[in-house]
Chain A
Amino acid sequence: MTFLHFNCDFLSKEVSDIELPIEVRKPNYALIARTVKNQPIVLAPGSYHVIAHMPGGMSVQETIEITGLERDVTVTLKPDDEGVTPDSTLEEALLVLGRTSAVSNSRPLIVTRSPVSDFRGGENPREPVPEFLGKKKFELRGFSGNIAHANQPLGWPWYSALPGNTTTVSRFRIEPGEPRVLELVQPTRPTRRMMLPVSAKEGCEIVISDRAVGGVSLDIRLQHVGADALMRYLQRGLFNSASSAGNAIDAEQLLARKIENPIAATVGVYALLRLGELERLHDWTGNLNDWYTSIPDGAAVRAEHLARLGKHEDALVTLLQLRQRGVPIFADGLSYATNRLRQFVSAASGPTRRELEETLKLLDRFASIADYRRPYSTFDPNDIDDENIVDASKRGTPVLPDWSTR
């Protein structure tokens, strides 16, 4: 028997560092093993096909012959000729984000330093107003705190442009810090607001891409490469790949290392909840909830975990924490919380029922305008037919209204 090891040969170190889910199949197509890049498997002599599934939806594949004469064999996975991209940024866009459109040119992104006259910029005169192709514009605004509470604009600088940006794909680094809300403002598109997946120890990356149909699209990449990949597999419905990635290392180690990476640990928890692998959660959801009170998702996942264990009273008490902690960063958390609250409201009475109803009312206001096709709690305030909710870009003030008082 031979140990088969896996190696990746990508331009981007970040892509190479992803704990890729791998399938090993026989020539007759039969699936014989699922593993991840850093977990070798034992194979009998024979011919095998090794397929690695990328977060962006592509696969890379190699064929290997195991003779049985060697104890260890390594297979190197790399994109084929048709998947070659000119640089690591574009490789990441293709293999991680799944962006297949070719870059039309390599002109650098122009970042002007003064507000553009036909589009209101930020109040801070030092804040850059990016240009795409010399015409399209967007603005990123940041507000401190949870979206459920009063928000104040963040002081500059709270993000920075990353090197290697072009006129069609640009990346910005969001620094670690306390909870914050991102607002993407475009002149002819609805303003979008989303909770940012950051903690005191973790920042994230924002990827803005030019859309052929007009406007720009926004993608968020987590600081932890493994957690980012895990979330993309879940988003694409690649649950086998997500399960491999979760089973092998990511979810457990993320939870074990939650002191350094609470956001990444939260992703791991969501994955295990989605996949129904409660036995792997142990009591880590309790620690996540207790140690990181600034991350509201801790309460949502802890409550969900307890409810699935049949500990409904404890789950109920945990959910009430969300009145103070606010809207979860991840859409799944908002989903879990509102579903459980609705269930508990039906079964409760007296003061407890009133408290549950107040908590549900707070979250429901956001749940009704959320875009659940996105993994992060994302809201389009224009969905609210309410004169009191003002689109900040129209009014021209960068202060988000306090929705908690509605």
Chain B
Amino acid sequence: MPLVPGTTVRPTLGSPPGVHAFIVGVSDYPDLPQEGAPILAQHFGMTRLETPAVSAYRIYQWLSDVTTVLARPLATCRMLLLPSPKELAQEPALQALTTSCTPADFLMDATQWREDAATSSDNITFFYFAGHGLRRSLDDSVMLLQGFGNNIGGALVNSVDIQNIFNGMSVTNARPSMARTQLYFVDACRNFPQAFKHLTSPQTTEVFPVDLSAEEKRVAPIFYAAASGARAGGLADGKGTFFGRSLIKCLTHDAADLIETDGQLSWDVSVRSLQGALETAISEVNAQYDVELDVSSGGVQKEAVICHLNSAPMVDVVIRVEPEIAVPLVQVVLRDDANQPVTEIPNPLTHHPFGCRLRAGFYSAGAQIPSGSVVPGGATPLRPVAQRITMVRPPRWEKILKVTL
């Protein structure tokens, strides 16, 4: 899919700046075995996947949604998708979008993507890859494409590496109007399989020739789903990768901050706010699914706005009383910055912990207790908890009201 649906025009030098996206999601590697099937040496321990393609599709959906307000309008969008049968069952729309994802396909789209990106320095590029990945050394991320495991040619001939792409998208003498803002998302494992350790410097397919000419002028962060040496992961049954789901959650919600510029207010998601929000989002994934994922970043992390939200994001609020036995005696009070109650809270609480949703902002939570109250069944005195203003930001605010010393 070379272009945004409804348009057929590729940009030229001087065209209005926009976002140029290149999205790749490879799940159904045809030369890798299904889960549970025999794994041969040429497979390097890998099997087909069930989550990357739908994650890539979700990213495309977000980019092209009419409610998404990108820092620049979406100008072009190229997408290579190779979904698994489970993903097709979960999301039938993927059927019409299925393509091949060979190195030749990748090189063709990458080349055109780069040409489009080089039409204006005010362009923004958006690269997202989801699929198998590995690293050969430190800040390295090799992205595996269709054909990997076919035992033809070098071990990594059907793969590309992010550093080559990153370097090839530099501002150079040949491409002085290259987009200055470039966003890279690599949603793939970055471990170093044992099977590769006996190979001598395996080489990937070069996407762009090396051009060492100009000064680094970009804002060009690279967000990795897995810290170097670690594995990424996802939810079964075609629900998407952990990183892909977290990324969309952050772009649409968690990473927004209210910025005032020349008296104008705007909820902005930026490079740096996204980094912090992703760390938090992945921590929540780890806690919820009992995994040990990590995100890391590379590239050049200057600040730039990625998108805007139309309204304040909501925050999940959880209020707990400690000790829980004191709940029947406690009146929980939740107030906004103007000291006004923000929501009806049952007195006493009818369910504990108490949960609600609030718009990001400043709030206080306190506990009021009748004078002379003690812990039920005991003699420990209960004490009220004073209201204290706190910044409440996505994704969650958990407040513990300790009513005993």
State the A residues within 8 Å of B (CB): 25-32, 49, 51, 59, 61, 63, 80, 82, 236-240, 243, 274-278, 307-310, 312, 331, 334-336, 338-339, 342-344, 346-347, 363-364, 367-368, 370-373, 383-385
Contact A31 B138 (CB under 8 A): no
Bound together, the chains give a CA A14 to CA B384 distance in angstroms of 33
Chain A residue numbers with a CB within 8 Å of B198 are 385
The distance in angstroms between the C-alpha atoms of A155 and B72, with both chains bound, is 61
A343–B215 CB distance below 8 A: no
> A342 contacts B194, CB within 8 Å?
no
Cβ contact within 8 Å between A334 and B391: no
Q: In the complex, how many angstroms separate the beta carbon of A368 from the nearest chain B beta carbon?
A: 6
The 8 A CB mask of B378-403 against A (1 = contact, 0 = none) is 00000000001111000000001010
The smallest beta-carbon distance between A194 and chain B, in angstroms, is 14
In contact, B258 and A28 (Cβ under 8 angstroms): yes
Q: Which of B39-47, B105-113, B225-233 contacts A (4 or more CB under 8 A)?
A: B225-233
Determine if A30 and B229 form an interchain contact, defined as CB atoms under 8 angstroms apart.
Answer: no
Nearest-neighbor residue (CB-CB) of B197 within chain A:
A385
Cross-interface CB contact of A276 among B206, B275, B300, B360, cutoff 8 Å: B300
Give the chain B neighbours of A336 by CB distance below 8 A: 139
Cross-chain contact B215 with A310 (CB below 8 angstroms): yes
Contact status of A338 and B138, CB under 8 A, knowing A239-B301, A343-B163: yes
Decide yes or no: A27 and B138 within 8 Å by CB, A239-B301, A240-B276 being known contacts: no
Give Cα A275–Cα B402 distance, bound, in whole angstroms: 41
By a CB distance below 8 angstroms, the chain B residues around A308 are: 215-216
- Cross-chain contact A240 with B229 (CB below 8 angstroms): no
Q: Does B302 contact A (CB under 8 A)?
A: yes
Minimum Cβ distance to chain A for residue B306 (Å): 14
Alpha-carbon distance between A72 and B212 when the two chains are bound, in angstroms:
52
Per-position 1/0 for B246-275, Cβ under 8 A of A = 000000000001111000010000011101
Find out whether the CB atom of B362 lies under 8 angstroms from the CB atom of A49. Answer: yes
| B212-A347 in contact (CB<8A) | yes
Given A30-B258, A373-B229, A373-B230: A385 and B361 interface contact (C-beta under 8 Å): no
The residues of A that contact B294 with a CB separation of less than 8 Å are: 373
B214 contacts partner chain A, Cβ-Cβ < 8 Å: yes
Closest to B337 in A: A27
> What's the Cα separation between A406 and B134 when bound, in Å?
24
A sample of 17 inter-chain contacts (CB < 8 A) reads A25-B391, A31-B257, A61-B389, A80-B388, A237-B276, A238-B276, A239-B275, A240-B273, A334-B138, A343-B163, A343-B167, A344-B212, A368-B137, A371-B229, A372-B139, A373-B294, A385-B197
Closest to A364 in B: B137
Contacts of A384 in B (CB 8 A): 197
B354 contacts A by Cβ under 8 Å: no
Query: Nearest chain B CB to A33's CB is how many angstroms away?
Result: 10
Q: What's the Cα separation between A344 and B211 when bound, in Å?
A: 10
> B35 contacts the other chain (Cβ, under 8 Å)?
no
Q: How would residues 272 to 288 of chain B score, 1 for a CB under 8 Å from any chain A CB and 0 otherwise?
A: 11011011000000000
Q: Would A29 and B216 count as touching, CB distance under 8 A? A: no
| Cβ A310 vs Cβ B214 within 8 A | yes
Min Cβ gap A157→B in Å is: 34
Which residues of A lie under 8 Å from residue B214 when comparing CB positions? Answer: 310
Q: Are the C-beta atoms of B362 and A312 separated by less than 8 Å? A: no
Given contacts A240-B272, A309-B215, A334-B138, contact A30 B230 (CB under 8 A): no
Does B236 sit within 8 A of A, measured CB to CB?
no
A1 to B227 alpha-carbon distance, docked (Å):
47
B219 interface contact, C-beta 8 A = yes
**Is there contact, CB below 8 Å, between A346 and B301?**
no
Quote the shortest CB–CB distance from A318 to chain B (angstroms): 14
With both beta carbons as reference points, the residue of chain A lying nearest to B173 in the complex is identified as A310
Residues of chain B within 8 A (CB-CB) of A338 are 137-140
Instruction: Report yes or no: B301 in contact with A274, Cβ–Cβ below 8 A.
Output: yes
* Measured CA separation A51–B361 after assembly (Å): 13
- Asked if residues B301 and A339 are in contact (CB atoms below 8 Å), the reply is no
**Smallest Cβ distance from A147 to chain B, in angstroms?**
14
* Inter-chain contact A343/B210, CB cutoff 8 Å: yes
Q: Does B303 sit at the interface, judged by CB under 8 A? A: yes
- In the complex, chain B residues whose CB is within 8 Å of the CB of A63: 389
| Chain B residues, CB < 8 A from A275 | 301-302
- Contacts A29-B258, A343-B212 aside, 18 further interface pairs with beta carbons under 8 A come to A25-B391, A29-B312, A29-B391, A49-B362, A49-B389, A308-B216, A309-B216, A310-B213, A310-B215, A310-B216, A334-B138, A335-B139, A347-B210, A347-B212, A367-B137, A370-B229, A371-B229, A372-B227
Q: Is A237 touching B279 in the complex (CB atoms < 8 A)?
A: yes
Which B residue sits closest to A62, measured CB to CB? B389
Interface 1/0 per residue, B284-306 and A, CB below 8 Å: 00000000001111101111000
Task: Tell me the smallest distance from the CB of A395 to a CB of chain B, in Å.
Answer: 22
B62 within 8 A of A: no
* Residues of chain B from 85 to 102 with CB closer than 8 A to chain A in the complex: none
Give the complex CA separation of A370 and B216 in angstroms: 27
The closest CB in chain B to the CB of A26 belongs to: B260
How near does chain A come to B223, taking the closest CB pair, in angstroms? 10
B230→A276 contact, CB < 8 A: no
Q: Does B138 lie within 8 Å of A335, measured CB to CB?
A: yes
Check if B239 is an interface residue, CB within 8 A of chain A.
Answer: no
Pairs A-B, 4 closest by C-beta atoms: A335-B139, A367-B137, A372-B228, A308-B216
Residue among B216, B219, B294, B390 with max Cβ neighbours from chain A (10 Å): B216
Q: A243 touching B272 by the CB < 8 A rule?
A: yes
Query: Which chain B residues border A344 with CB–CB below 8 Å?
Result: 212
Could you say which of A276, A338, A363 has the most chain B C-beta atoms within 10 Å of its C-beta? Answer: A276
Contacts A237-B279, A238-B276; A49 near B296 (Cβ below 8 A): no
Distance in angstroms from A295 CB to nearest chain B CB is 19
A339 touches B163 (CB 8 A): yes
B275 contact set on A, CB distance < 8 A: 237-239
> In the assembled complex, which residues on chain A have CB atoms less than 8 Å from the CB atom of B139?
335-336, 338-339, 372
- B136 contacts chain A at the CB level, 8 A cutoff: yes
Distance from B397 Cβ to chain A, minimum over Cβ atoms (Å): 12
Residues of B within 8 A of A372 (CB): 138-139, 227-229, 296
Report chain A residues within 8 Å CB of B167. 343
B273's nearest neighbour on chain A, judged by CB, is A240
Give the complex CA separation of A368 and B197 in angstroms: 9
B391 touches A51 (CB 8 A): yes
Query: Which of B219, B337, B361 has its CB near the most chain A CB atoms (within 10 A)?
Result: B337
Please indicate the chain B residues that have their CB under 8 angstroms from the CB of A383 in the complex. Answer: 192
Known contacts A243-B272, A243-B303, A275-B302; is-contact A30 B197 (Cβ 8 Å)? no
- Cα of A251 to Cα of B145 in the assembled complex, Å: 41
Chain A residues closer than 8 Å to B212, beta-carbon distance:
310, 312, 343-344, 347
Task: Verify B301–A276 contact, CB threshold 8 A.
Answer: yes
Could you tell me if B216 and A278 are in contact, using CB atoms closer than 8 angstroms? yes
Shortest CB distance B207–A (Å): 12
CB distance from B35 to the nearest CB of A (A): 26
| Most A-side CB within 10 Å, residue of B167, B212, B279, B294 | B212
- Residue numbers in B under 8 Å from A371 (CB-CB): 229
Q: Are A370 and B391 in contact (CB under 8 A)?
A: no
Of the candidates A30, A51, A243, the one whose C-beta lies within 8 Å of that of B260 is A30
Give A238 to B139 CA distance when docked, in angstroms: 20
In the bound complex, CA of A30 to CA of B265 (Å): 7
Residues 127-157 of chain B, each 1 if its beta carbon lies under 8 Å from chain A, else 0? 0000000001111100000000000000000
